[in-house]
Chains A and B, each alone.
Chain A
């Protein structure tokens, strides 16, 4: 399998910037309220955890799929 590592590295940089921006957003705005939920409303916390994880998984899957489409995977 042959991979163009330069393109792969560029895509990883784009991905890293997107993820960093996303984390800044989540940690800045949601960390406090998530901690508060954890201590005071476990049911709400459990539902939010699952929804956040599913939402993030779908979102990142779309982004990484787009990046992977640009990546030329070639069989020997």
Chain B
């Protein structure tokens, strides 16, 4: 099928299937899926600038579907999401500006690539070890459907979130997430760092923000997924608007991908009900590693997959 805006011919079935797979990942893990969608569009023949912008616009649609489903399941903490949006957008701009500054003084590809490989690989190993430990802990004996978010979510390394929650400056409570008191600055700082990673490394960086919310803020995994998706709707809308203004979006491709994603995102969101927090995190562990491998590929071959 010919797409006149990007002057490309791509099979629409490929786009629908790609959207479906990304939709399942997004609904289940709360990630945008740009680490997979961008390269897959590029491989299909879409120029890289269009692949990045179109992917981001499709993420908006997919995240609306998944966030609505998670909202119905009670997995969105609106208070937390609103606070995080502020930090994410500010961090995203800072990340983009940091890239521009690095372009003038250093080999930006090597610096960004090196940072990305260290962060992503470290996160993958950490999530794997933590979820492995957490799965060994004794959990609630109640059936999974009757457990609260906190009961579903055994965590091995609680000292990190306890340390973050010990900051006393300008505290708020997050009753929906079961957090009695946490500093607004801690939330803003965590979302800002997530935003910087998004602007610096590309994509929505959900594979960084979701573990940050779980380990640093102490948010239950299911609520972290839903809240991250809500936040992605806002931040990806902002990003895709900017890309569309720069002529990097083929709306027809994004619309076709979204039809597959609409079904996939629902399946992914429904599936979270059948898994407890540690199991979801264990399944999540390879995702940052895939991102790291793509960066390695980019550095070795000179082709950027994100």
Which A residues contact B (CB, under 8 angstroms)? 1, 12, 15, 19, 22-23, 26-27, 31, 34-35, 38, 42-43, 45-50, 52-54, 56-58, 60-61, 63-65, 68, 73, 75
Contact B255 A42 (CB under 8 A): no
Interface of A is mostly: helix
Contact B251 A48 (CB under 8 A): yes
Residues of A within 8 Å of B117, CB to CB, are none
Contact mask B34-64 → A, CB, 8 Å, 1/0? 0000000000000000000000011011101
B3, closest chain A residue (CB) = A31
CB contact between B262 and one of A26, A27, A43, A61 (< 8 Å): that residue: A61
Contact B237 A50 (CB under 8 A): yes
B274, closest chain A residue (CB) = A1
Interface of B is mostly: helix
Count: A-B pairs, CB below 8 Å:
96
Residues of B within 8 Å of A61, CB to CB, are 64-65, 68-69, 262, 266
Least Cβ–Cβ distance between A54 and chain B, in angstroms: 6
Complex-state Cα separation, A51 to B60, whole angstroms: 11
Which B residues contact A (CB, under 8 angstroms)? 4-5, 12, 57-58, 60-62, 64-65, 68-69, 145, 237, 240-241, 244-247, 249, 251-252, 254-256, 258-259, 262-263, 266, 270-271, 274
A-B contact pairs, 17 of them (CB 8 A): A1-B271, A1-B274, A12-B263, A34-B251, A52-B251, A52-B255, A53-B57, A53-B61, A53-B240, A56-B61, A57-B61, A61-B64, A61-B262, A64-B263, A65-B69, A75-B145, A75-B274
Starting from the known contacts A46-B241, A53-B240, A56-B259, 17 additional A-B residue pairs (CB-CB under 8 Å) come to: A15-B263, A22-B259, A23-B255, A23-B256, A23-B259, A35-B4, A42-B245, A43-B245, A49-B240, A49-B249, A50-B240, A53-B58, A57-B61, A57-B64, A57-B262, A64-B266, A68-B266
